[in-house]
Amino acid sequence: MKLDYVTIFPAYFAPLDLSLVGKAVEAGILNVGVYDLRDWAYDVHRSVDDTPMGGGAGMVMKPEPWGQALDCLLGIGADTDTEVNGRTCVIIPSPSGELFSQSTARELADYARLIFACGRYEGIDARVAQYASSAVEVRELSLGDYVLNGGEVAALAMTEAIVRLLPGFVGNPDSLEEESHSESMGSLLEYPVYTKPASWRGMDVPEVLLSGHHAKIAAWRLNQAEELTRMRRPDLLGRSGDSA
């Protein structure tokens, strides 16, 4: 998979060199490109924002640098054979986007290329998404009902959720199956987990987990998952497996 990030703060993406994403790059599963939007801002001040048409507070990102950036990354108008195909998606992180969920992560893990267009200020001129959607799929995605200062942190969070689903990425694929929001957990939160020692600071691991009785353990875990979901996320109950 190829992952591209366009941003006015390329330094935000230093963590991509670390941890699991960095390992996936080393393993050849991932190819990452980080681009400074200002490289496509051609006026003397290399400005990327302007006041909102119609008035109002804050600044809006100008369409021209974004248009240049997307043309370049998608090979539009260039005399190259850069592929523009249906397996590319431009992702615009935005608090006004559709909610990013585990099922969104699964869908995006099937693409050959994702381009994250990270906006700052009050967002990107709406014509940029319209323009990009004439060439490739475009999705405006939100992490949840709160406001971040820009799309960078959201793009990193989405990246981690997507990349860990790629084949060959997680050491033990079974660990993807039983976690919160996985299909096999039927939209339940994951049950509490324990490791050794069996007794720690006066607190004991639940006895059933020491019993070796697999059916009883499975029943206990399901019960715990249901209880936890009822307490913390009642909104998830009654949903089908892949909607969470």
Residue 199 β-bridge partners: 204
Distance CA 139, CA 132 (A): 10
- Point out which span in 12-20, 107-115, 140-148, 164-172 binds ligand 6GU (CB under 6 A): 140-148
Q: Which x/- pattern, by CB under 6 A, does the window 94-123 give for ligand 6GU?
A: xx-x--------------------------
Residues 6+ apart with CB under 8 A from 174: none
| Helix runs in the chain, H state only | 19-26, 63-74, 102-108, 127-132, 152-163, 174-177, 214-232
Per CB under 6 A, the list member of 25, 29, 148, 166 interacting with ligand 6GU is 148
Distance CA 3, CA 109 (A): 11
Instruction: Kindly state the smallest distance separating residue 25's Cβ from ligand 6GU, in Å.
Output: 23
Q: Are 78 and 51 in contact (CB under 8 A)?
A: no
Nearest to 151 by CA among 38, 69, 61: 61
For residue 197, cis peptide bond before it (omega within 30 degrees of 0):
yes
Check binding of 142 to ligand 6GU (CB under 6 A): yes
Per CB under 6 A, the list member of 67, 150, 186, 241 interacting with ligand 6GU is 150
Q: Closer to ligand 6GU by CB, 33 or 144: give it.
A: 144
Distance CA 36, CA 59 (A): 19
Per CB under 6 A, the list member of 146, 199, 207, 240 interacting with ligand 6GU is 146
Q: Closer to ligand 6GU by CB, 118 or 209: give it.
A: 118
Check binding of 151 to ligand 6GU (CB under 6 A): yes
Check binding of 65 to ligand 6GU (CB under 6 A): no
Nearest to 100 by CA among 114, 82, 86, 113: 114
Check binding of 147 to ligand 6GU (CB under 6 A): yes
Instruction: Kindly state the smallest distance separating residue 156's Cβ from ligand 6GU, in Å.
Output: 11
Check binding of 9 to ligand 6GU (CB under 6 A): no
Check binding of 59 to ligand 6GU (CB under 6 A): no
* DSSP 8-state secondary structure symbol assigned to residue 124: B
Instruction: Kindly state the smallest distance separating residue 117's Cβ from ligand 6GU, in Å.
Output: 11
Contact residues for ligand 6GU, defined by CB under 6 A: 93-95, 97, 141-144, 146-148, 150-151, 154
